Amino acid sequence: MAHNLGRILEKTGLCSQITFGRYVRQGRKLGLDPKLFIQDLQFNEVPVRVYQPKATSDGPRRGILFFHGGGWVFGSLDTYEKVCRYLSRESDSVVVSVQYRLAPEHKYPAAYEDCLSATQHFLQHLGHYGVDPARVAVCGDSAGGNLAAAVSQSLAGSSHLPRLRAQILIYPGLQALDFNLPSYQQNRGVPLLFRERAAFFALLYLNGDALHMQEVLEGSHIPPDMRLKYGKWVSPDNIPEEFKVRGVKPIRPTDFIAEVYETVKRFCEPNLCPLLAEDSVVHQLPESFILTCEYDVLRDDGLLYKKRLEDNGVPVTWYHLEDGFHGIINLFDYYSLSFPSGKRGLDRVVAFIKSL
């Protein structure tokens, strides 16, 4: 319904689908939280919202940088207010929610640069927020999980800032080479993220438009030698067999089209597709938590990254929601629509944070 209404509004010239989509996703303003001190600030000119538990603490608290989902196109501090309040309250941590710039108005690497910049600022001023420098984590869902993974990789070898204690990736999107992995085939029409939408969002983030979406979906945007190079990391062969029982057919990529590759070659940059980082980088990453959902096109991105981390000796806590679908965390307490498995997933994140 909302989708059709968006189309109608666009045809009548009132606003684009994206502006309308942002409007319907705004979320209601929440009242004061008796247990949290919440303030809107700027870290290196990036808007952030800081959540601090009011209760006195024995010592410095854990710090969590949170990057929201929404395909790099949607989402705001307000849409994730409930999630961030819950994380701060339940894990007794200082949470910093980052309002990075959105596509298509701001293309890659704007979102990544904002998240990295806000993280660096926070790491330089932890004492001001009563945060333990040995217990800071980055966290994000969907596109936010992509940004958390990219920021974590960028800081992995940094010696002048406190080392991140953990990365928490909630159904992250981590690659744009193969939109025909088993989870893309099995869940192509499952809400809240259709297969076409995943490619659409990745292209909007990269280029500010969705030209060549069909070629990208078919795989003709990647040269054969590159496909071979990354095949050791992005391949259905690396997906455990139990995830193939719902059916999967071998799909050969269509013929390579050089001019399409020219427009999307930055898909091979790890800051955009963290699954493609070299082993020397992955090897240095902090302890990781990965949440995947069975009914999610991005499931296999999470599974493939889990394997890469484990192959490089990084401890991984993995939680799989067998009845979960993409976006479910944000629906853990959604007015009349409440999904118990969304809350179960969020509570696993809280338990992981408390273990740090």
326 is catalytic: yes
How many residues are recorded in the chain?
356
- Whole-angstrom Cα distance, residue 76 to residue 101? 10
Which residues lie closer than 8 Å to 27 by C-beta, 6 or more apart? 76, 78, 79, 80, 81, 82
> Of these residues, 142, 152, 183, 288, which one is catalytic?
142
Q: Work out the angle at residue 71's Cα, subtended by the Cα atoms of residues 66 and 76, and round it to the nearest 5 degrees.
A: 50
- Whole-angstrom Cα distance, residue 206 to residue 161? 29
**Strands 46-53 and 93-98: what pairing?**
antiparallel
142 is catalytic: yes
> Of these residues, 178, 296, 300, 301, which one is catalytic?
296
- Whole-angstrom Cα distance, residue 68 to residue 131? 21
Task: State the catalytic residues.
Answer: 142, 296, 326
